[in-house]
Amino acid sequence: MRKKKALWLGVLALLALPWVAMWAPHPFTTSTPEGTVSLQSWPDHHLALPTDQAEGEDTKAQANLPFLFAVYTITWIAFFGYAFYLSRRQAELRQEIQALQEEVARRRQQSSQ
Amino acid sequence: MRAAAAVTLGWVWVALNALSAIYALSKTGLGVMWFAELLVVALLASPGALLVAWGRRRPQRYEEFMQLAKQVLLPITGVMMLLTLSMVFLWVPTDANLGVSQRIFYFHVPLAIMSLLPPFLVSLSSIGYLWRRNEGWDALSLSAVEVGVLFTTLTLATGSIWARPTWGVWWRWDPMLTTFFILWLMYLGYLLLRAYAPSPDQGARYSAVLGIVGSVNSVIVYMATVWWNTQHPEKVVGPAAEAGSLDARMGVALLVAFATFALLFAYVLLERLSLRRDEAQVEVLRAQLEEAR
């Protein structure tokens, strides 16, 4: 029971971490001392940046945050959901195996009598 | 004898991967990523094959090993998840062109790379199944496809969300995206084929053939940005990438994220394999019950 609680707390903490980071003094706007960097192999013509993004570092940093959090949330929910489905299904199957084993043993005993 | 042959084959595979990694290291600036990629393939595919051979010979010890592996993998994966998140949200620099949305990269790219692992596992285990008709191969194949569906779905979803702020659209029928979409459809086709086959045996056989044929598509997906003029960004890691195309800190964060998703892949795959084993046991017990009537 305690294990389960700890697991759920861990999951909640994991899901909450970036949201807390978002409301904390903004990590994205404080760029590194070297400034921002660019993926060299992504030339500008590949991009169609909205104009509001090109206005300044702060705007650029904060724009599109919902997209990042959508990706983050979808990814972890999918993984936790799948892992939860697998463990639940496994628990059901283990119960079924036990019941079937008992039933087979009972029938064999009956037929031998 | 069979186990010895499987072990030998496994080690030959690991050695081949190591040689390819050394070659890649000498040819690319970010050889370490390629090495990590191959290491994961070696670590998952070869022991995966060995597990099948071993599981048949020593079912009890196999089960114990699976339990232990899951117990070890779970906390390590949890810690790695936290480390990845800390790096992605607090440590890596912001991209000059894409801004914050570039951080989707640390989810999308590892997911995409890991999506290309199941076709490899499926082709290997499908050949094994068609050759030996061992249920273990079939279980590995089915589990890899199911996990593959999860990874490809997430890759498509995260890619689509990322495309919106960068390209201004959710989807584009670009060669890279289209071939990846075909890979996703192939996984679904595999599962549908199994579900609607006249008998489980036929389903396993037909899907094994589809698994081998379909795995060719993973090579096309990987090479799409090289072969065609595509809107999708060029490779920034792996053998097809230009040297120095990724900032060092971004490279480190990507490597950590990749390790996390690889561990997650291994954990989910082991869970699915255990589930398949239980499903098979239920089928056997039901058959015994029918006989006892």
User: Is A50 domain-assigned?
Assistant: no
Range of the domain at B224: 61-292
Q: For position A54, what pLDDT does the model report?
A: 44
Q: Which helix (H) or strand (E) holds A36?
A: none
Does B244 map to a domain? yes
Tell me, yes or no, whether B225 lies in a domain: yes
Please report residues of B whose CB lies closer than 8 A to that of A34: 93
Residue A102 lies in a domain: yes
The average confidence (pLDDT) of chain A is 66
Residue B77 is predicted with a pLDDT of: 84
Q: Do B97 and A32 touch (CB under 8 A)?
A: no
Residue A12 domain-assigned (yes or no): no
ipTM of the complex: 0.73
Query: How many CB pairs (< 8 A) connect A and B?
Result: 174
pLDDT-derived band at A92, boundaries 50, 70, 90 = very high
How many structural domains is chain A composed of?
1
Q: Would the CB atoms of A41 and B245 count as touching at under 8 Å?
A: yes
CATH assignment of the domain containing B167: 1.20.120
Write down the pLDDT at residue A48.
36
- Report the residue of chain A nearest B89, measured CA to CA: A18
* Residues 25-44, chain A, touching B (beta carbon < 8 A): 27-28, 31-32, 34-42, 44
Residues in chain B with CB shorter than 8 Å from the CB of A18 are 85, 89
Q: For residue B151, what pLDDT is reported?
A: 92
Residue B19 domain-assigned? Answer: no
Number of domains making up chain B: 1
> Which residue in chain A is spatially nearest to B157 when comparing CA positions?
A71
**Secondary structure (DSSP) of chain B:** -HHHHHHHHHHHHHHHHHHHHHHHHHH-TTHHHHHHHHHHHHHHHHHHHHHHHHHHH-HHHHHHHHHHHHHHHHHHHHHHHHHHHHIIIIISPPBTTTBGGGGGHHHHHHHHHHHTHHHHHHHHHHHHHHHH--HHHHHHHHHHHHHHHHHHHHHHHHHHHHHHHHHSSS----HHHHHHHHHHHHHHHHHHHHHHSSSHHHHHHHHHHHHHHHTHHHHHHHHHHHHS--SSPPPSSSTTSPTT-S-HHHHHHHHHHHHHHHHHHHHHHHHHHHHHHHHHHHHHHHHHHHHH-
Q: Do B95 and A39 touch (CB under 8 A)?
A: yes
**Contact B277/A at CB under 8 A:** no
**Residue located via tokens 């195996």:** A97
Q: State yes or no: pLDDT of A4 exceeds 50.
A: yes
What range does the domain containing A104 cover? Answer: 64-113
Digit-coded pLDDT (tens) for A15-68: 665 555 555 544 443 344 444 444 444 444 343 333 344 445 555 556 677 888
Cross-chain Cβ contact B282/A96 below 8 Å? yes
Q: What pLDDT score does A95 carry?
A: 92
pLDDT at A67: 83
Note whether residue A111 is domain-resident: yes
Residue of B95, B97, B267 to mutate, interface with A, max A Cβ within 10 Å = B97
A96 belongs to a structural domain: yes
Choose among A17, A67, A96: nearest Cβ to B162.
A67
Q: What is the pLDDT of residue A61?
A: 54
Residues of chain A above pLDDT 90, percent: 8
Residue A8 lies in a domain: no
- What pLDDT sits at residue A30? 37
Is residue A81 assigned to a domain?
yes
Nearest chain A residue to B276 by CA distance is: A90
Distance from C-alpha of B52 to C-alpha of B57, rounded to nearest angstrom: 9
Classify residue B184 by burial, with Cβ atoms within 10 Å: 0-12, 13-18, 19+: middle
Q: Is residue A109 part of a domain?
A: yes
Calpha distance B89→B253 (Å, rounded)? 10
Distance CA B51, CA B276 (A): 14
> Comparing C-alpha atoms, which of B128, B121, B119, B118 is closest to residue B5?
B128
3 state SS for B215-226: CHHHHHHHHHHH
Low-confidence spans in chain B with pLDDT less than 70: 1-60, 96, 225, 231, 234-246, 293
